[in-house]
């Protein structure tokens, strides 16, 4: 009898799950599993997120990925979105940030050399494969069935001064 | 002798056509049906060879003309520099190179005029394709890793000792209003 009670006690609640930080780089998030394909200062788990992630369906309550999404081509991005849906619990949160394509292109008329670096991500490897604007990003995630899709123009605390798009939505 | 670096699916008759990737399908028939069929059937006996723009296996001062059409944007900035050095080495003195690329300046100009709409986003995707390459259905080689304006390409060529740089007509299948071609002499 005692065994059964203990077993129930250790079941994972339906509304709680893991927290994943994908493409973490040097930025380690407390309480998250910080995943990157390379060993950086923040890496807990070395994994190429273009592969199916080694987690059960619907066990993640929040996924964050910053300056990651633009490094994938459109096919890879679609696969990744399908993975987000598979991993998240119902109402689970997805938060992404990435460069604002409108800003990158506007920068071209100001400083061509810098703009090329920003557009193609030459400073970081393996570079940018696609870009997003406020409208295109919102539509992409709405079309994939995410709820409360919100895309704002802003910046993230650890990269002050860089104009980003910040997407938040729920499964 | 003439060299066509990164011939892709557009081999040019009379040139030594080299490419790092092999393109068995797609739009060949639009360009040169005879060559395309021979290439597909493996019977092509012309001057097509496997060749990497970053590692050209030809002796120095060998070619009179080099064509490098829509190659540079598929290489990183550093690789592009190496490719131009390689081309310079295999070119004869007085020989010239034609380098064609999409016009990044024009693409950025266009981008600010096309808005992403709910109904028809074809122009938006077209301009994004000019900047980042195709959606990747033809493999890794189709992505753009860098972009150039006339100004930047001229500097890159001059830095690598090319002289008398002028603008010439590129291949007719690349729209002249969206692409440009610069010629430089050794």
**For chain A, percent of residues with pLDDT exceeding 90:** 61
ipTM of the complex: 0.81
Alpha-carbon span B36 to A168, nearest angstrom: 49
Judge whether A72 lies within some domain: yes
Q: Indicate if the pLDDT at residue B92 is higher than 90.
A: yes
A vs B: CB pairs below 8 A: 60
- Name the residue among A96, A155, A93, A99 with its Cα closest to residue A122: A99
B1 vs B140, more confident: B1
Is the per-residue pLDDT at B142 higher than 50? yes
* Residue from B107, B131, B144 whose CB has the most chain A CBs within 10 Å, to mutate: B131
- Chain B residues closer than 8 Å to A106 by CB: 112
- Residue A93 forms contact with B (CB below 8 Å): no
Identify which of B151, B148, B183 has the alpha carbon closest to the alpha carbon of residue B73: B148
Q: In this structure, what token pair is assigned to residue A122?
A: 């030459």
Supply the mean pLDDT for chain B.
83
pTM, to two decimals:
0.82
Q: Do B147 and A131 touch (CB under 8 A)?
A: no
Pick from B111, B116, B144: which is nearest to A105 by CB?
B111
CA distance A82 to A143: 12
Count of CA atoms in the C-beta half-sphere (13 A) of A38: 8
Which is it for strands A164-170 and A88-99: parallel, antiparallel or unpaired? antiparallel
A-chain CB neighbours of B105 within 8 Å are 108, 112
Which residues of chain A have a CB within 8 Å of the CB of B145? 120, 127
pLDDT at residue A4 greater than cutoff 70? no
CB atoms A116 and B135 under 8 Å: no
Q: pLDDT band at residue A107, thresholds of 50, 70 and 90?
A: confident
- Given a cut of 90, is residue A97 above it in pLDDT? yes
Say whether A73 and B108 touch across the interface (CB within 8 A).
no
Does any domain span residue A69?
yes
Q: Is residue A164 part of a domain?
A: yes
Q: Which residues of B touch A149 (CB under 8 A)?
A: none
pLDDT at B48: 64
DSSP state, residue B13: T
Q: What is the pLDDT of residue A6?
A: 60
Contact partners, residue A34, CB within 8 Å, separation at least 6: A21, A24, A27, A28, A42, A43, A44, A45
> Is A116 within a domain?
no
Mean pLDDT of B91-113: 93
pLDDT band at A32 (very low <50, low <70, confident <90, very high): very high
Contact between A116 and B104 using a beta-carbon 8 Å cutoff: yes
pLDDT value for A35: 95
Residue span of the structural domain in which A39 resides: 2-99+129-170
Per-residue confidence band for B30, with pLDDT thresholds at 50, 70 and 90: very low
Residues found in chain A: 171
The pLDDT of residue A64 is 96
Q: Name the residue among B108, B136, B152 with its Cβ closest to that of A74.
A: B136
Residue B172 vs residue B92, higher pLDDT: B92
| Whole-number pLDDT of residue A34 | 96
Q: Where are the domains of chain B?
A: 2-102+141-185
Distance CA A93, CA A74 (A): 22
What does the pLDDT average to over A55-81? 93
Which has more pLDDT, B67 or A4? B67
pLDDT of residue B125: 86
Q: At the fourth CATH level, which superfamily is domain B2-102+141-185?
A: Vaccinia Virus protein VP39 (3.40.50.150)
Statement: residue B160 has pLDDT above 50: yes
Mean pLDDT, range A77-104, rounded to an integer: 94
**Residue A123 near residue B147 (C-beta atoms within 8 A):** no
pLDDT of residue A13 exceeding 90, the answer is: no
Shortest alpha-carbon distance between residue B143 and chain A (Å): 7
Q: How far is A154 from chain B (nearest CA, A)?
A: 20
What are the φ and ψ backbone dihedral angles of B46, each rounded to 5 degrees?
-75, -155
Q: Please check whether residue A135 lies inside any domain of the structure.
A: yes
Total count of domains within chain A: 1
């Amino acid at each position: 009898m005692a065994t059964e009670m203990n077993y129930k006690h250790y079941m994972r609640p339906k509304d709680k799950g893991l927290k994943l930080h994908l493409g973490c780089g040097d930025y380690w998030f407390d309480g998250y599993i910080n995943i990157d394909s390379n060993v950086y200062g923040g890496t807990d788990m070395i994994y190429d997120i273009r592969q199916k992630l080694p987690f059960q369906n619907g066990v993640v309550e929040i996924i964050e990925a910053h300056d990651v999404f633009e490094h994938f081509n459109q096919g890879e991005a679609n696969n990744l979105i399908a993975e987000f849906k598979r991993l998240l619990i119902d109402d689970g949160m997805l938060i992404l940030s990435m460069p604002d394509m409108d800003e990158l292109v506007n920068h071209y008329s100001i400083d061509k050399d810098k703009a090329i670096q920003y557009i193609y991500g030459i400073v970081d490897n393996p570079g940018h494969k696609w870009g997003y604007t406020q409208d295109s990003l919102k539509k992409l995630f709405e079309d994939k069935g995410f709820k409360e899709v919100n895309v704002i123009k802003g910046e993230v605390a650890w990269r002050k001064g860089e104009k980003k798009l910040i997407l938040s939505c729920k499964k | 002798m003439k060299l066509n670096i990164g011939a892709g699916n557009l081999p040019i008759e009379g040139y030594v056509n080299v490419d790092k990737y092999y393109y068995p399908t797609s739009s060949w028939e639009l360009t040169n049906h005879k060559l395309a069929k021979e290439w597909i059937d493996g019977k092509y006996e012309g001057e097509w060879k496997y060749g990497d723009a970053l590692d050209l296996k030809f002796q120095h001062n060998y070619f009179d003309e080099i064509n490098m059409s829509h190659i540079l944007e598929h290489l990183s900035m550093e690789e592009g520099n190496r490719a131009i050095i390689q081309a310079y080495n295999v070119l004869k003195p007085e020989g010239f190179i034609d380098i064609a690329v999409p016009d990044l300046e024009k693409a950025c100009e266009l981008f600010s005029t096309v808005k992403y709409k709910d109904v028809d986003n074809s122009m938006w995707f077209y301009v994004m394709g000019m900047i980042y390459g195709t959606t990747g259905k033809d493999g890794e080689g189709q992505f753009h890793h860098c972009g150039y304006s006339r100004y930047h390409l001229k500097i890159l060529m001059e830095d690598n000792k090319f002289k008398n740089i002028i603008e010439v007509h590129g291949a007719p299948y690349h729209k002249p209003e969206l692409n440009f071609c610069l010629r430089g002499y050794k």
